[in-house]
């Protein structure tokens, strides 16, 4: 009996050591795989010409730049899935800068689905809806955006390398994030009131004149 017990103990030890070896090997391979993916993202990272076009109020992305911008952020979604909301928001911004408002709107909807606590996605959808004269939808988007705690949006931006890279490319300091949010919430309140007014007075000057605000990243 003792001999059987001794053999069992030896076999058990072997199995434990084997399990540890397999676990360490798996984790090591997984880390190497993830590091390789991050290196790939670094190689695919957008150049300064993209950020210059995105930062410029009148900047425009041509079809080639748009394709590369969308491709890069799709890779971000694939390789770093928990940053999908950030990637969708920036994809939407790229579509908008390429004059593809419908696709931008679809991308912002996906961003909200991935993270419903991000003010700028609602704000930008509101701006797009207002430009399309969909005033009921615009008012709803601004209302939903105003219901988001600005600290949630600020935290999402400051904890995301995706956004930190954009901040650096735009040569913005971290404090600009909360300054931008304060201005954004003020604009959203003004645009929500305008959207409600335009539902009843669609031909009024405020409803037909160029907007004083545009979509924003932060």
Q: Which distant-in-sequence residues (6+ apart) come within 8 Å of 210 by Cβ?
A: none
Burial class (CB in 10 A: 0-12, 13-18, 19+), 74: middle
Report which of 110, 34, 128 is spatially closest to residue 79, judged by C-alpha positions.
34
Average pLDDT over residues 200-213: 94
pLDDT of residue 138: 98
State mean pLDDT over 51-70. Answer: 84
pLDDT on residue 30: 44
Least confident of 21-35, 79-93, 156-170, 175-189: 21-35
**Which residues, other chains included, contact 43 with Cβ-Cβ below 8 Å and sequence gap of 6+?**
none
pLDDT number for residue 198: 98
**25: pLDDT confidence band, cut at 50, 70 and 90?**
very low
Angle between helices 119-131 and 175-200 (to 10 degrees): 40
Looking at residue 82, what DSSP letter applies?
G
Q: Which tens digits make up the pLDDT trace of 78-119?
A: 998 989 999 999 999 999 999 999 999 999 999 999 999 999
CA dist 33 and 42 (Å) reads 14
pLDDT at 42: 60
Q: Per-residue confidence at 71, pLDDT binned at 50, 70, 90?
A: very high
pLDDT at 49: 75
Average pLDDT of the chain to the nearest whole number: 84
Highest-confidence segment of 16-30, 49-63, 152-166: 152-166
pLDDT of 40 > 90? The answer is no
pTM: 0.82
Query: Any residues with CB less than 8 A from the CB of 176 and at least 6 apart, and which?
Result: 167, 218
Q: In whole angstroms, what separates CA 170 from the centre of its chain?
A: 16
Say what the pLDDT of residue 193 is.
98
């Amino acid at each position: 009996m003792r001999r059987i017990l001794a053999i069992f103990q030896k076999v058990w030890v072997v199995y434990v050591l084997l399990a540890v070896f397999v676990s360490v090997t798996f984790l090591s391979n997984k880390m190497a795989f993830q590091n390789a993916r991050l290196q790939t993202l670094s190689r695919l990272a957008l150049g300064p010409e993209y950020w210059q076009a995105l930062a410029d109020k009148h900047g425009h992305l041509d079809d080639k730049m748009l394709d590369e911008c969308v491709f890069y952020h799709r890779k971000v979604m694939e390789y770093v899935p928990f940053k999908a909301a950030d990637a969708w928001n920036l994809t939407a911004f790229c579509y908008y800068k390429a004059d593809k408002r419908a696709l931008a709107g679809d991308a912002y909807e996906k961003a909200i689905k991935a993270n419903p606590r991000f003010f700028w996605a609602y704000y930008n959808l509101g701006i797009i809806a207002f430009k399309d004269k969909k005033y009921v939808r615009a008012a709803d988007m601004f209302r939903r955006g105003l219901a988001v705690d600005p600290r949630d949006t600020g935290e999402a931006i400051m904890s995301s390398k995706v956004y930190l890279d954009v901040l650096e490319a735009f040569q913005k300091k971290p404090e600009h994030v909360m300054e931008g949010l304060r201005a954004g919430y003020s604009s959203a309140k003004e645009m929500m009131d305008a959207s409600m007014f335009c539902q009843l007075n669609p031909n009024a000057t405020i409803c037909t004149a160029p907007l004083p605000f545009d979509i924003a990243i932060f």
